[in-house]
Structure 1
C-alpha cells in the first residue's frame, strides 16, 4: 500500500513539477527545447500536455496578450500539423470570444480612452462596410493591418454582433494558424539550424506560404470590388506579425 501511494504521488506531482519550470517560448531555441520536452512527456501523459497547452493558449487569447505565433508553432511541433491546426483554430476562436466578452463587460471605456484614434478609424470603416461586415472582418484577419488582440478588444466597442465576430475569427485565422502550425511541425523535425536551408525544408515552407496566400488573395479581390478600405492600412498597429 505505501508503495502504491508513493507511485500515485509521483505520477501526480511529476507533471506539476515539470509544468512549473515551463515558460512561454520567445525564440526558436526556447521553442524547440520546450517542444522536445512536451513531446517526450506527451507519450505517457497526453492529457496533461493537452490541458497545459489549451490552458496557456486560452489564457493568452482571453487577456489579449500578444505572441500567439509561438504557441501556434508549439502546437504544430507537439501535436502535428492537422491536430495542431484544429486545436489552434478552436482555441483562438474561443479565446478571442472570451476576450470579446470581457471587453464588452469591463473594457469598453478603457479601449476608447487609450486608443481613441484607432477606434475612431475602425468605427468609420465598419460603418462604411456594414453591408459586407463579415467579409470586412475576414479581410482584417487575413492581413496584418491590425493585430488580432486589438480587434478582439475593439469589436464590442464597434457593436460587432458576437456571431459574426465568432465565425470571422474561426475562418479568418485559418491561413495564419496554418502557416505557424505547419512551420512548427517542420522546425520540430530539424536536428540543427543548418537543416532549415535544406531543399526539402525550403520546399515545404514555400508550399505553406503559397497555400496560405490563396484565401487571402480571394478576399483581397473581393475587397477591391466591394469593400471600402482607404486608411485602414495606415493605422500603424500591424507592423509586427509576432504581436498577433
Structure 2
C-alpha cells in the first residue's frame, strides 16, 4: 500500500501503531476493573516530585493489598511512555523506589524500561524511518557512522551509550533499528546498561521527600560514576582498534 505524499506513514503502519496503543489500553482497563471500587482521581502521569509524593501516599495501601494489579499497571504505563517517547519515565523510576524499595524497584524499572525500549525498537522498525529522518537527521547521521565504525565491538559501544548521557535513550530506542543495530545487541545493552542509572533514581525515590528537584538526582559524583562505568564498557573497543592500527 503506497504512502500518502502528505503523510509519511502508510495505512498499515498507522494500524500497527494503533494496535499497540489499543493493546496497552486494554491492559490498563483490565487492571482498572480488577481493582476495588474507590476514588482514583489521584491517578495521573507524574510530572513533578509533588506528583510522586501524592501517588506514593495514595498507592501504598493498594501496593500491599493488590500487588499484582499495581505491578501490571505500572509496567503498562511505563512501557506505553517508552514506546511513544512520552517524557516522564524518570518520575516513574522514582515512584518505583518509593513503592517497592531498592532491590525490587531496580528490577521493576529495568524490566519495564527494557520492555518499553524493545517495543519502541520494533515499532520504529515498522514506522520509524520517516519520523527519525524528519526529527533528528544530523543526530541519526552521526549515530549511523559511529555504529558502522564499531560494528565488531558494537555491544560495548551500545553499553557506553546506555550508561552515559551521551545520546538520549529515547533517540537510541528509535534510531537503533534504522541504523541496523541487531536486536540481541540492543536488548543486552539495554538490560545491562540501564542498571546503574536505575539504581541511582530508584534509591532517590525512597527519600523522595528530601529531593528539591530532579537535578538533585545526578550530582557530579553520580555523573562521574556513570561515565567511569561507560568508559570501562567501551575500553575493549578502543584497545582492539589500537591493536588493529599497530598491526596494519
SS in 2 for 1:24: coil
Partner of 1:97: 118
- 1:52-67 residue pairs with structure 2 within 5 A? 52-67=73-88
2:146 maps to what in 1? Answer: 125
For residues 162 and 220 of structure 1, what CA distance do their matches in structure 2 show? 23
1:219 equivalent to 2:230? Answer yes
Q: Does 1:181 align with 2:202?
A: yes
Deviations 1:103-149 (A, max 9, x none): 00111122112211110011111111111111111111111121111
Alpha-carbon offset, residue 216 of structure 1: 4.2
Residue 14 of structure 1 is matched in structure 2 by 37
Q: Is the 8 A contact 2:35 2:66 kept in 1?
A: no
Query: Gapped runs of 5+ residues in structure 2?
Result: 1-32, 240-248
Aligned counterpart, 2:106? 85
Equivalent-residue separation in structure 2 for 1:37 and 1:209 (angstroms):
33
Higher relative contact order (CA 8 A, sep 6+): 1
Pair 41,209 (structure 1): closer, same or farther in 2 beyond 3 Å: farther
Partners of 1:110 and 1:66 in 2: how far apart? 17
Moved more, 176-185 or 112-121: 112-121
Q: What residue number does 1:50 align with? A: 71
| Contact map agreement 1:35 1:77 (CA 8 A) in 2 | yes
Q: Could you tell me the TM-score, scaled by structure 1's length?
A: 0.74
Alignment RMSD: 2.8
**Cα separation, 2, equivalents of 1:76 and 1:209:** 22
User: Per-residue deviation at 1:215?
Assistant: 6.3
Deviations 1:166-187 (A, max 9, x none): 0100011101111111110122
Contact 1:57 1:95 in 2 (8 A): yes
> CA offsets, 1:6-59, max 9 Å, x none?
xxxx985525x41x5411111111111111111122222222211221111111
Give runs of ≥4 in structure 1 deviating > 3 Å.
10-13, 208-216, 221-228
Gaps of 5+ in 1: 1-9, 198-204, 229-244
Q: Is the 8 A contact 1:66 1:149 kept in 2?
A: no
**Conserved in 2, the CA contact under 8 Å of 1:63 and 1:99?**
yes
**Is the contact between residue 175 and residue 213 of structure 1 (CA under 8 Å) also seen in structure 2?**
no
1:178–1:212 contact (8 Å) kept in structure 2? no
1:214 Cα deviation from its structure 2 partner: 4.8
